[in-house]
């Protein structure tokens, strides 16, 4: 049963989608795009964004057919108790693993960039405890914080892009302007992980006040990170070139470090950018953690999700601490990316199943 205060407005819904997608990946996206697609990095990023948009709309339509239920609940309705609960459990594992991955990547990056002498565990626990506190306040508190932080995150990235224009050269951009179409297409699955986060649609549809505006708001929510990601790839390649960008772990941070102000004013723009990027990482962690908690309570058909927040926090920490180095983190990211893509395909299959079988709920049903 939904609390009457747990209602999301259109802007909050947009903010939830965009802030869940734009997490830690923003600082390394140009590197990921080039490693996956080489000269097709720009086109592949755009195509991955379009694919994410298609899947998000499918999830939107599916959610609207079950306006009072999350995916964990209508999986049982559509597929039966055994298979439905098994897939629901896989969904929970995905949300938990993604929360842990974002937490680990964020903590590693923050330690390497600004908190050199702070133990990794301290950074991780601090972020996790803050996410726990936010999740205990419910979807409305999370949505309001996402709504507050998203404009700041967007403005900071746009400011970075604008200030980096002095280092930009169209000559360096030439290799990606005429890419191999096949190279771009086959790299889409790898790049799709950068756009994951729109699965939050499957969990928050019951909380949306005006469901008729869902699809336009979804297009805006996906469109914001698609445009920003594309601009980041363009700026990184235009500023450094294709191969140098591929060799950087955090090209976006390097862009910030290269910014020079007249008269040596505010030389360390990268520190300012990192502080604002923390907001993006935090909202992404909190949103995924909330999805994991809500999924678990709906799977076991209970009402109060808050005790599960405390139960899941140590599990997230243990999962986050498991990878030993960057190659292992990248390997985990690849597996989670494919799992996320599989969940998107599952949503499409479920929608087809609903349309064929006619099983659906009405708002008053």
> With bands split at pLDDT 50, 70 and 90, how would you rate the model's confidence at 271?
confident
Higher pLDDT: 48 or 177? It is: 48
Look at 10-24, 230-244, 325-339, 341-355 and tell me which has the smallest mean pLDDT: 325-339
Q: Report how far Cα 8 is from the mean position of its chain's Cα atoms.
A: 19
Between 361 and 285, the more confident residue is 285
pLDDT of residue 247: 87
Q: What is the pLDDT of residue 361?
A: 64
Q: Which residue has tokens 């169209």?
A: 170
Answer whether residue 2 is part of any domain: no
Tokens matching residue 193: 């992980």
Q: pLDDT-based confidence at 288, cuts 50/70/90?
A: very high
| CATH number of 352's domain | 1.20.1740.10
| Highest mean predicted confidence (pLDDT) among 30-39, 209-218, 229-238, 257-266 | 229-238
| pLDDT, position 267 | 62
Assigned domain for 362 exists: no
Sign of CA dihedral 149, 150, 154, 157: positive
Instruction: State the pLDDT at residue 40.
Output: 87
Q: For residue 188, give every residue at least 6 positions away whose Cβ sits within 8 Å of its Cβ, in sequence order, or none.
A: 44, 47, 48, 51
Percent of the chain with pLDDT over 70: 93
Residue 291: both structure tokens together = 């999805």
Q: How confident is the model at residue 163, as a pLDDT?
A: 84
What percent of the chain stands above pLDDT 90? 27
Given a contact cutoff of 8 angstroms between Cβ atoms, the answer to whether 23 and 280 are in contact is yes
Cα pseudo-dihedral 279, 283, 285, 288, rounded to 10: -170
Residue 249 pLDDT > 90: no
Tell me what pLDDT residue 365 has: 41
Instruction: Give the pLDDT band of residue 226 (cuts 50, 70, 90).
Output: very high
Residue 17 lies in a domain: yes
Residue 29: name the closest of 252, 325, 272 by CA.
Answer: 252
* pLDDT, the chain, mean: 85
Would you say 228 and 159 are in contact if contact means Cβ atoms under 8 Å apart? no
Residue 1 in domain:
no
User: Confidence band (pLDDT; 50, 70, 90) for 362?
Assistant: low
36 within some domain: yes
Say if 340 falls within a structural domain. yes
Using DSSP's 3-state secondary structure scheme, residue 178 falls into coil
- What whole-number distance in Å separates Cα of residue 260 and Cα of residue 238? 17
| Inside any domain, residue 365 | no
Please tell me the pTM assigned to this model.
Answer: 0.89
Residue 335 has what pLDDT?
A: 86
In a domain, 3, yes or no: no
- How many domains is the chain partitioned into structurally? 1
CA distance 70 to 72: 5
C-alpha–C-alpha distance, residues 239 and 169, integer Å: 6
Q: Which domain holds residue 54?
A: 10-357
For residue 57, count other CB atoms closer than 10 A to its CB.
17
């Amino acid at each position: 049963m939904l609390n009457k205060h747990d209602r999301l407005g259109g802007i909050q819904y947009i903010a939830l989608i965009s802030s869940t997608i734009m997490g830690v990946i923003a600082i390394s996206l140009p590197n990921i795009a080039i490693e996956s697609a080489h000269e097709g990095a720009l086109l592949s990023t755009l195509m991955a964004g379009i694919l994410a948009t298609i899947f998000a709309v499918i999830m939107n339509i599916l959610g609207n057919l079950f306006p009072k239920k999350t995916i964990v609940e209508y999986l049982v309705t559509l597929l039966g108790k055994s298979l439905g609960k098994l897939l629901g459990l896989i969904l929970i594992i995905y949300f938990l693993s993604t929360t842990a991955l974002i937490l680990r990547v964020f903590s590693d990056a923050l330690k390497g960039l600004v908190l050199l002498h702070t133990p990794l565990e301290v950074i991780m626990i601090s972020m996790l405890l803050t996410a726990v506190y936010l999740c205990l306040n419910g979807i409305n508190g999370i949505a309001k914080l996402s709504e507050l932080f998203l404009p700041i995150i967007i403005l900071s990235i746009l400011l970075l892009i604008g200030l980096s224009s002095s280092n930009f050269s169209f000559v360096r951009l030439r290799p990606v302007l005429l890419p191999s179409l096949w190279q771009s297409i086959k790299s889409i699955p790898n790049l799709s992980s950068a756009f994951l986060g729109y699965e939050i649609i499957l969990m928050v549809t019951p909380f949306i006040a005006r469901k008729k505006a869902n699809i336009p708001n979804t297009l805006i929510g996906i469109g914001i990170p698609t445009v920003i990601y594309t601009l980041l790839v363009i700026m990184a390649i235009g500023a450094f070139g294709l191969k140098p960008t591929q060799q950087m772990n955090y090209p976006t941070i390097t862009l910030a470090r290269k910014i020079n102000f007249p008269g040596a004013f505010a030389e360390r723009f990268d520190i300012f950018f990192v502080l604002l990027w923390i907001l993006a990482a935090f909202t992404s962690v909190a949103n995924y953690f909330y999805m994991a908690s809500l999924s678990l309570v709906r799977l076991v058909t209970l009402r109060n999700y808050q005790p599960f927040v405390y139960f899941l926090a140590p599990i997230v920490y243990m999962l986050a601490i498991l990878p030993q180095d960057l190659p292992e983190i990248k390997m985990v990211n690849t597996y989670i990316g494919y799992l996320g893509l599989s969940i998107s395909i599952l949503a499409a299959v479920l929608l087809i199943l609903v349309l064929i079988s006619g099983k659906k709920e009405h708002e008053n049903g």
